[in-house]
Amino acid sequence: MNQTLSAAQEIAQLREQLNEYNYRYYVLDDPTVPDAEYDRLMRRLQGLEASHPELMSADSPTQRVGGEALAAFDQVTHEVPMLSLDNAFSVDELKAFEKRLQDRLGRLDQLEFACEPKLDGIAVSLLYVEGTLVRGATRGDGTTGEDITANVRTIDSIPLRLRGPSVPPLLEVRGEIYMPKAGFESLNAAARERGDKPFVNPRNAAAGSLRQLDPRITATRPLQMCCYSLGRVEGMELPLNHSEVLQQLNAWGLRINREMQVVEGAEACQSYYEQMALKRVQLPYEIDGIVFKVNSLELQRRLGFVSRAPRWAIAYKFPAQEEMTRLLDVEFQV
């Protein structure tokens, strides 16, 4: 009884804390704790809720995706929800992920995975009607996002018209808008020169740039987009595999990540992860982990979703580096 009471208290405290961190991170673009600390508290809350299902609540931060839409932008409803990803933090958790998939699919053979760097930016949906870009929206809470069409139209790597004869009448593409490291450095150097507060990290700079009410400001910011999945699609037969979807997006003129690889089994996923961990510093953009996705779209459909994430994908995060130092450094420089 007593134990339940203290678990209930800790759960309430964690929920309050995480809600506050979410608000600072997603709504104000002004995080107050490093991601690793946030992830640690989130895991603790997930663990407590799993061992005390009677204390579960639909409005817990474990059940939500991201943040709310800002009132200043029009709101957009995502007909296909934009979800988050489950996390893994060790090779054992990666193997457990593969095991869960095999059990659920009732098969013992190794599964094929598409491996992609996890870009640290903002998830965005682009809607193309008859090949023309008609809407850009943020993920928001996964169901309701912000209409940022005027801002995404200023980003050079986002085509205003798709190329090629086979473009479907309706195509919703999803991906990450991010700020490459070099652009981030020069943006912050200029901010310091003017005596303005620099951005904490490239993700934060991308979020702030994308949510400008004046698109002329967004147009001056060095943003890029990399596409990684489809949302709503009409009038097109889907390919068999996720990797083929990416190649098709690329053929239509959308950027995809050139580091993407298809491998078999959790061990090969681990090798890809280690290889990318070494390559990470040389990449021109920040990544905070690797995303592994079951490559077959048919198996993805069979696996489906849980409340806030697909069952067929996992984000294996890199260990926290000097995140706190980075946050503190910036504060001292101001």
Pattern 169-188, binding to ligand NAD, x per CB under 6 A? Answer: -------x------------
Q: For ligand NAD, which is the closer residue by CB, 131 or 201? A: 201
Cα distance between residue 237 and residue 168, in whole Å? 9
- Would you call 256 helix, strand, or coil by DSSP? coil
Q: Kindly state whether residue 230 participates in binding ligand NAD, applying the rule CB under 6 A.
A: no
Residue 286 binds ligand NAD, judged by CB under 6 A: no
238/230 Cα distance (integer angstroms): 10
Q: What is the DSSP letter of 145?
A: E
208 lies in the site for ligand NAD, by CB under 6 A: no
Among 11, 14, 15, 38, the residue binding ligand NAD under the rule CB under 6 A is 38
* Residue 289 φ/ψ region, left for φ over 0, alpha for ψ in the -120 to 50 degree band, beta for the rest: left
Report the residue number, 21 or 252, with the smaller CB distance to ligand NAD. 21
Closest approach of ligand NAD to the CB of residue 170, in Å = 21
Q: Is 204 in the site for ligand NAD (CB under 6 A)?
A: no
Q: In this chain, which stretch among 24-32, 98-106, 237-245, 248-256 interacts with ligand NAD, using CB under 6 A?
A: 24-32
> How many CB atoms sit inside 10 A of residue 184's CB?
23
CB nearer to ligand NAD: pick between 131 and 299 = 299
Whose Cβ is closer to ligand NAD: residue 131's or residue 288's? 288
Kindly state whether residue 292 participates in binding ligand NAD, applying the rule CB under 6 A: no
Q: Residues 126, 210, 297, 315: which binds ligand NAD (CB under 6 A)? A: 315
Contact between 21 and ligand NAD (CB under 6 A)? yes
116 contributes a contact to ligand NAD by CB under 6 A: yes
Angle at alpha carbon of residue 84, lines to 157 and 329, rounded to 5°: 70
Residue 61 touches ligand NAD, criterion: CB under 6 A: no
In whole angstroms, what is the distance from residue 161 CA to residue 164 CA?
A: 10
Which strand (E) or helix (H) includes residue 129? strand 122-129
Amino acid at site 202: P
Which residue among 31, 222, 231, 310 contacts ligand NAD (CB under 6 A)?
Answer: 31
- Closest distance to ligand NAD from the beta carbon of 132 (Å): 24
Query: Which of 76, 200, 224, 201 lies closest to 138 in space, CA to CA?
Result: 76
**What is the rounded CA–CA span in Å between residue 309 and residue 121?**
18
Q: At what angle are helices 35-51 and 323-333 packed, to 10 degrees?
A: 130
Instruction: State which amino acid sits at residue 158.
Output: I
Q: Is 70 in the site for ligand NAD (CB under 6 A)?
A: no
Smallest CA-to-CA distance from 131 within 157, 163, 155, 153 is with 163
DSSP, collapsed to helix, strand or coil, labels residue 262 as strand
Q: Does residue 88 interact with ligand NAD by CB under 6 A? A: no
Active site residue 181: no
In contact, 51 and 71? CB cutoff 8 Å? no
Residues at the site binding ligand NAD, with contacts judged by CB under 6 A: 21-22, 24-25, 31, 33-35, 38-39, 65-66, 84-85, 87, 116, 118-119, 123, 139, 176, 228, 291, 315
Active site residues: 118
